[in-house]
């Protein structure tokens, strides 16, 4: 009798343990922390987020996303090769300027940052994903243009609010201003001109600061994540050539990568839009890097 009870107890324990193990694996998969989504593996996004009713997402969306990502990586590799083949510019004159190849260095820096997929939590979205050259620097997926309109961001299939503006015309808008003769406002980007351009002198650069920290697009939780990712970029030397030695020397806390690989809007952040704890000096440096990113991206190299 005792042996039967002992056997039944062993079977019960094994059953409970197996149930807990399966439940844990299921919850981990739901939270994106399974074998493919473990912390630190930034190449693997969490399970797909699909809030749309049937028939909204185009059937070829997954394949088209991978096609465009492949093209983005190809352009990034092209830009890296162009930079490596470039004769370094000469710093000269007073005030100092980058002479000779300085303009080309500026253009290539913009190209490199525009097609850099590391500028997103899961390192799977570059600015160029929504702004491909052959599509007039706008969205390059025909099925998306005919259905969703807005493009899926770093957290698939969470999508933006509108189709991507074309680089080829949006830089031409002037800074928002009031014309007294016509009694009307001119300039700025968006229908409501909220991207005024007052800070950077360019409504287009002002507008471009939104997507990297938009929870539906690049979804970075803090603007400082841009500077953090640039610290380990292959083209960091070019950035420091253009913007000065030490421009990326920022002391980031040990948990910065964990923060930057978590999409903005996550409950862990609450309402905190600057979860990376930086000194005032380092925060100012990171802000400068963030602003320079969009000054550079708006240059269109060949």
Could you state, in order of their start, the residue ranges of all structural domains in the chain? 61-297
Predicted pLDDT of residue 21: 44
Residue 85 has pLDDT above 50, yes or no: yes
* Burial per residue of 158-190, b for 16 or more beta-carbon CB atoms within 10 angstroms, e otherwise: bbbeeebbebeebbebebbeeeeeeeeeebbbb
Backbone angles phi, psi at 21, to 5 degrees: -65, -45
Of 228-237, 255-264, 292-301, the poorest mean pLDDT is in 292-301
pLDDT tens-digit map of 200-217: 888 888 888 889 999 999
pLDDT tens-digit map of 37-61: 334 445 566 666 677 888 888 999 9
| Structure tokens belonging to residue 258 | 């964990």
| Structure tokens belonging to residue 179 | 């014309």
Residue 238 has pLDDT above 90, yes or no: yes
The predicted model gives 20-45 an average pLDDT of: 42
CATH of 61-297, one of 1.10.760.10, 1.10.10.10, 3.40.50.1470, 1.25.40.10: 1.10.760.10
Residue 10 has pLDDT above 50, yes or no: no
**Alpha carbon distance 226, 120 (integer Å):** 9
Average pLDDT, the chain: 83
The predicted model gives 175-196 an average pLDDT of: 88
Residue 138 has pLDDT above 50, yes or no: yes
Strand partners for 195: 189
Strand partners for 138: 132
More confident residue, 194 or 1: 194
């Amino acid at each position: 009798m005792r042996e039967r009870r002992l056997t039944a107890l062993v079977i019960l324990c094994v059953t409970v343990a197996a149930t807990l193990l399966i439940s844990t694996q299921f919850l981990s998969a739901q939270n994106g922390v399974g074998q493919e989504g473990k912390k630190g593996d930034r190449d693997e996004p969490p399970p797909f987020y699909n809030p749309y009713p049937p028939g909204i997402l185009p059937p070829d969306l997954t394949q088209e996303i991978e096609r465009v990502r492949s093209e983005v990586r190809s352009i990034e590799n092209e830009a890296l090769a162009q930079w490596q083949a470039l004769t370094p510019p000469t710093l000269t004159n007073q005030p100092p300027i980058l002479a000779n190849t300085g303009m080309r260095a500026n253009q290539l820096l913009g190209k490199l940052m525009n097609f850099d997929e590391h500028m997103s939590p899961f390192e799977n979205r570059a600015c160029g994903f929504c702004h491909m050259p052959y599509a007039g620097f706008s969205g390059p997926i025909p099925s998306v243009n005919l259905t969703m309109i807005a493009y899926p961001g770093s957290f698939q299939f969470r999508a933006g609010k509108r189709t991507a503006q074309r680089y080829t015309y949006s830089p031409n808008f002037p800074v928002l201003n009031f014309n007294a003769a016509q009694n009307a406002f001119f300039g700025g980007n968006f229908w409501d001109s909220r991207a005024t351009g007052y800070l950077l002198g360019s409504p287009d650069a002002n507008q471009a600061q939104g997507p990297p920290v938009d929870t539906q697009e690049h979804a970075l939780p803090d603007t400082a994540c841009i500077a953090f990712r640039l610290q380990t970029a292959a083209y960091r030397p070019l950035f420091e050539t253009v913007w000065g030695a030490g421009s990326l020397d920022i002391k980031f806390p040990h948990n910065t990568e964990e923060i930057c690989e978590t999409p903005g809007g996550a409950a862990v952040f609450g309402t905190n839009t600057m979860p990376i704890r930086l000194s005032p000096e380092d925060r100012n440096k990171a802000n400068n890097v963030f602003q320079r990113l969009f000054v550079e991206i708006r240059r269109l190299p060949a």
